[in-house]
Every structure is written in C-alpha cells, then in structure tokens.
Amino acid sequence: MNPRESFEEREYQILSPLAAKSREAKRDKPMREDPLRTAFQRDRDRILHSKCFRRLKHKTQVYIAPGDHYRTRMTHTLEVGQIGRTIARALCLNEDLVEAIAMGHDVGHTPFGHVGEYALRELVGHFNHNEQSLRMVEVLEKNHQGLNLTREVRDGILGHTGQHIPVTLEGQIVRTADRIAYLCHDFDDAQRAGLLQVDELPRGIAEELGQTPSQMITTMVTDMVEASWGQVSIQMSGRVQEVMDAFRQFMFTHVYMSKALEPDRTRAMHVVKNLFTYYVAHPEEIRHEVQHDRIITLTDIVDYVAGLTDQYAIKLFKEIYIPRIWDV
C-alpha cells in the first residue's frame, strides 16, 4: 500500500460519513494515480502552480494599487482557505477538498475586482466571475488544455457564489468562508484606509460578532460548526446569519459602494471597457492568446481582458490611449 492509498483508507476511518472521500473523486479525463497525493491534494497543487493563480497577487480585492498591507485577491484566497480548513477539520470533513476549492474559487476574477466584472457584464450581457473561474480551470489553463480537476472541486468553484449550491459539504464551507473572509478583512482594510472607524460599526453587529476581524471570524466560524454538526448542509444559526447579512449590507453601503472609492471605480471601469472596445476593433492583437489560426471570437476577447492583472491592464491602457512623451 503506497502513501496515497494509506491516506485514502484513513479518510474512511477518521472523516465524517458525510465527507467527500478522495478515492471516490471523479475526473472527466482519467489520469494515472499519484503514489503520494490524493486526487484533491493533486487538484490543489495543480491550481497553486497555475498561471491564473499567480496572477491573483496583482488583482484588486477592494483597493486599486493598494499599499503593502492591504489584501489582494491572492491574500483573500489564502484567508478563505485557512478559514475553510478550520471549519472542515472541526466538522471532520475533507480539508484537502476545501483547500483545493478555495485556491481556485477566484482565479476567474477580472482586473479591479468586481468593478471589472460589472464592466464586462455591461458590455457582453452576461459575465460572472465564478463561471469564469470554472472556465479558467476547465478550458483556458495549460495552453487551453485545462487542469482536468475533479468534478467535486469544479462544482465547488462554480458554487462559491451565485445560484448554484455546491453538492459537497466542503464546497458549501467555501461558499460561506469566502463571505466571512471578505467581510472581516475588508472591514480591517477599511479602517487602515480611513474609510471607517471601529465605533461606526452598528451596535448590534459589534455586540454579536465582536469589534475586531479576529473576533468576528471566531464568532462566525464557531457558530457554523455548532449549527452544522451532524447536518446534511452547512449553515449558521438564524441569529448569526441575520447579523452577518446586516454586516454585509453595512459594508456595501460604507465601503464597497462608498463615495470615497467612486473615482477609482469609475476609472477602473473606464480602463476595462476601453480595452475591451479596442480589442474588438483589433482582435489580431490578441492572436498570441488564441489557439492555432482560428477566427478570434468575442469570447476570446472576454477571456483575455478578464485575465489581465490590474497593473497589466493599466499598462496596456497607457500604451493604447495615452500619447507618448518624446524626448527632445
């Protein structure tokens, strides 16, 4: 029995009967099993070594071109993974599956965070970053071969937001861990940016969840574990869910849609829309991103613009639209 087989066997002994088991994972394209890693560990590693994951370090979480200590899309992703694994371990669920889903859940995010997502949606009628994350790992990565991830991981990536609820409890954990992470850590960054002071937090939220990101995370994670123990779905108690929803509304009003960030949101949307418009008129300029000599489609242009980092999008915008300064 090799290390992978031994680990797969231990999952049946240690994990909850409700947990996803690595041995039962399915891929669309069969692969030779790895002697050391389970299917979900292998998926995590494939995502971590992908180009789309590396680009997350230069993609906006909330603040465009922030300082050293603000979250980026990558640090957010790592925090989702940490929170998710804590919940999974407490519930005796599959930590490796949770981590794999968490690492891949935002790889389809656009430059400038949700601003870029809204811009593309306005331009093409339908664009959701969770669907683009799934497309990234299924189709675009590895020179358009895709990563051939297990169905359980892909299902969790698609279902981390939106209408689709993940089939596995592990996917459902990531769905809520994502929200816990961005609310608490964006609240922390908002204080650092001077957008909020801790005493502005509504009294009911502060009393129920706490006043620091650490206290808030602990409260919501503990409540999730207690409310979900032995259940066939991941949930929170009614009271904490209600307060979490109020916290989210507070953050949308005072941070995500705040007037202070409106100028940067407008500029970022302008960059994305104009890059898209330019490449629609000059599709040959993304030939290097398209397989063979086939006709470049609107979908190819969406894929290209969505995959840009903040810095590279700004660089392209300057090259295309800003006149050069000539040395005399």
**pLDDT tens-digit readout, 262-272:** 999 999 999 99
pLDDT, average across residues 61-76 = 81
At residue 66, the pLDDT reads 65
- How far is 187 from 232, CA to CA, in rounded Å? 31
pLDDT, average across residues 115-133 = 97
Q: What is the DSSP letter of 293?
A: T
**pLDDT tens-digit readout, 143-160:** 999 999 999 999 999 999
The answer on pLDDT for 124 being more than 70 is yes
The CA radius of gyration of the chain, in Å to the nearest whole number, is 21
pLDDT tier, 328 (very low <50, low <70, confident <90, very high otherwise): low
- Are 33 and 51 in contact by the 8 Å Cβ rule? The answer is no
The answer on pLDDT for 64 being more than 80 is no
pLDDT tier, 327 (very low <50, low <70, confident <90, very high otherwise): low
Average pLDDT, the chain: 95
pLDDT, average across residues 1-13 = 96
Which residue intervals of 159-260 are DSSP H helices? 169-192, 203-209, 213-228, 238-251
At residue 65, the pLDDT reads 62
Provide the residue ranges of all domains of the chain, joining segments of one domain with +.
3-15+34-111+125-258
- How far is 135 from 146, CA to CA, in rounded Å? 8
The answer on pLDDT for 28 being more than 80 is yes
**pLDDT tens-digit readout, 278-289:** 999 999 999 888
At residue 326, the pLDDT reads 72
For 18, phi then psi, to 5°, come to: -85, -10
pLDDT tier, 291 (very low <50, low <70, confident <90, very high otherwise): confident
At residue 289, the pLDDT reads 85
At the top level of CATH, the class of 3-15+34-111+125-258 is mainly alpha
For 72, phi then psi, to 5°, come to: -110, 180
